[in-house]
C-alpha cells in the first residue's frame, strides 16, 4: 500500500550544497641513494566528491532533506611522491522521490528525476591537479610546476517535488475526492464533512483488471482564486502539472455543476495554461443523492465535449465505469 504520512509531507526545501575540491598535484622528484635529483614523480590530486541526486520510487517526501541543511562533499586528497595519485572524495548521493526537480540558485539550471535509480550529478567535484611528472618535456626534464586542484562548486539548491501520478483529482473542498480515493485504492485518507480536510497530496494505486494499475493523486480542494493564493493556494497546483488525466469531481448537490467545472478549469489555466492540454474527465460525485430527473438535467448541463460519469463512493455506482474511462484515457 502506498501512503504518504501527511505530517511528514515536504514538497519544497532549500539546501546549501558544496561539492569537494580537487586535490593538489604533487611537485616531487625521485630520490635514491645515488641520485640527489632524479626525475619528477609528483602524482595527481584526487577528484573532489560530486553531489549526485538519485531517484527512489519508495520515497514520497523530501522530508529526509530537512535534516541536512548543509550538504558538504569531501575534497580529493593531494597527489604524492612516486606518482601516487590522491584519493577521490566519496560522492554524496541524495535520494529523492520520483518527480523531484533540483534547481541551482547560482545558475538557475535544473535537473529532474523521473525514474527509479536514475542518477544525475547536481554539483561536480573539482578535478584533481596534475602532478609535476606530467610536465616533463625534452627541454625541461625537471619541472617544479604542479597544478592546484580545481575548486568544487557551491550554491543553494531548491528541491521541489511534483508528485507523479497518472490521474489528479480536482475539485472544490468537500467534493468527495478523498472518499473516492479510499474506495478505488487501498489508501486511507482523512475524510470529513468540512472544507480542506486534505491538506497534503496523497497517492493511491488503482488495481485495474488483469494486473494493470494506475496511480491517482488526491489533492487539497481548489477554490476560486487559488491561482492567486487563496485557500490552500497554488502551492498544491504544481502537483497537478504532471498528471496525464485530470478527474474533476463535481458533487451532485452543487448549485451549478457547469459553473463549478468552469471555475476549477479557470484556476488551473490561470496557474499554468499548459494544463489545458491534459485530458479532462468529469465525475459527478455523491450521485446517490440524485433521482433520474436531476441526473438527466445535469447530464444536459455539462459540457458535451468532456466525458462524464455519475458516481457514488457510498453505493459504488459508476465506479467501474469510471475506472474503465480513466484507463482508456491513460492508454488511448
Ligand atoms: N452521499 C454521499 N456523500 C459522500 C460521497 N462521497 C463523499 N461524501 C461525503 O462528503 C464529505 C466530504 O468528503 P471528502 O472525501 O472528505 O471530500 P474532499 O473532496 O476530499 O474534501 P477536502 O479534502 O476538504 O477538499 C464527507 O462527509 C463524505 O462522507 C458519496 O458518494 N455520497
Ligand atoms: Mg480530501
Annotated domain spans of the chain: 1-161, 167-330
Q: Which residue has the cell 622528484?
A: 29
Residue 7 has pLDDT above 60, yes or no: no
Judged by its nearest atom, the ligand closest to the C-alpha of residue 169 is: 1
| pLDDT, tens digit (0-9, with 9 covering 90-100), for 293-312 | 999 999 999 999 999 999 99
The answer on pLDDT for 31 being more than 50 is yes
The class level of CATH for 167-330 reads alpha beta
Residue 1 has pLDDT above 80, yes or no: no
Mean pLDDT of the chain: 90
Ligand 2 center–CA 307 separation, angstroms: 23
Q: CB atoms < 10 A from the CB of 98, how many? A: 21
> What is the per-residue pLDDT for 163?
79
The secondary element (H helix, E strand) that includes residue 65 is helix 63-66
Q: What is the mean pLDDT of residues 2-16?
A: 69
Spacing, Cα 323 to ligand 2 middle (Å) = 19
Distance in Å, CA 192 to ligand 1 centroid: 6
Instruction: Report domain 1-161's class.
Output: mainly beta
Residues of the chain with pLDDT > 70, as a percent, come to: 95
Residue 4, pLDDT above cutoff 50: no
Atom 7 in ligand 1: residue holding the nearest Cα: 176
Burial environment of residue 277 by CB neighbours within 10 A (0 to 12, 13 to 18, 19 or more): exposed
| Ligand 1 pocket, residue 243 CB under 6 Å | no
Structure confidence at residue 89 as a pLDDT band (50, 70, 90): very high
To 5 degrees, how large is the angle CA 183–CA 251–CA 323? Answer: 40
pTM of the prediction? 0.73
Ligand 1: which residue has its CA nearest to atom 10? 176
Q: What is the pLDDT of residue 237?
A: 79
pLDDT reported for residue 224: 83
In the prediction, which pLDDT does 36 show? 65
Amino acid at each position: 500500500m502506498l501512503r504518504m504520512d501527511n505530517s511528514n509531507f515536504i514538497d519544497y526545501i532549500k539546501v546549501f550544497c558544496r561539492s569537494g575540491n580537487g586535490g593538489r598535484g604533487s611537485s616531487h622528484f625521485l630520490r635514491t641513494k645515488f641520485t640527489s635529483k632524479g626525475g619528477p614523480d609528483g602524482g595527481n590530486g584526487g577528484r573532489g566528491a560530486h553531489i549526485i541526486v538519485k531517484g527512489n520510487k519508495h520515497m514520497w517526501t523530501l522530508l529526509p532533506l530537512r535534516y541536512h541543511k548543509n550538504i558538504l562533499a569531501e575534497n580529493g586528497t593531494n597527489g604524492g611522491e612516486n606518482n601516487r595519485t590522491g584519493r577521490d572524495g566519496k560522492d554524496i548521493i541524495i535520494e529523492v522521490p520520483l518527480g523531484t526537480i533540483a534547481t541551482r540558485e547560482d545558475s538557475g539550471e535544473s535537473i529532474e528525476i523521473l525514474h527509479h535509480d536514475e542518477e544525475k550529478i547536481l554539483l561536480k567535484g573539482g578535478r584533481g591537479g596534475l602532478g609535476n611528472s606530467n610536465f616533463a618535456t625534452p627541454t625541461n626534464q625537471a619541472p617544479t610546476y604542479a597544478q592546484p586542484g580545481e575548486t568544487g562548486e557551491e550554491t543553494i539548491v531548491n528541491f521541489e517535488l511534483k508528485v507523479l501520478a497518472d490521474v489528479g483529482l480536482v475539485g472544490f473542498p468537500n467534493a468527495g475526492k478523498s472518499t473516492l480515493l479510499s474506495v478505488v485504492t487501498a489508501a486511507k485518507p482523512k475524510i470529513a464533512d468540512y472544507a480542506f480536510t486534505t491538506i497534503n497530496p496523497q497517492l493511491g494505486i488503482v488495481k485495474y483488471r488483469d494486473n494493470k494499475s494506475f496511480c491517482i493523486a488526491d489533492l487539497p480542494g481548489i477554490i476560486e482564486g487559488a491561482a492567486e493564493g487563496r485557500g490552500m493556494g497554488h502551492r498544491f497546483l504544481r502537483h497537478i502539472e504532471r498528471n496525464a488525466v485530470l478527474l474533476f469531481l463535481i458533487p451532485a448537490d452543487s448549485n451549478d455543476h457547469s459553473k463549478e467545472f468552469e471555475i476549477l478549469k479557470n484556476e488551473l489555466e490561470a496557474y499554468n495554461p499548459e494544463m489545458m492540454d491534459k485530458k479532462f474527465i468529469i465525475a459527478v460525485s455523491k450521485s446517490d443523492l440524485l433521482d433520474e430527473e436531476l441526473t438527466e438535467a445535469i447530464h444536459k448541463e455539462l459540457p458535451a465535449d468532456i466525458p462524464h460519469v455519475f458516481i457514488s463512493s457510498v453505493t459504488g455506482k459508476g465506479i467501474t465505469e469510471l475506472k474503465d474511462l480513466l484507463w482508456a484515457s491513460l492508454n488511448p
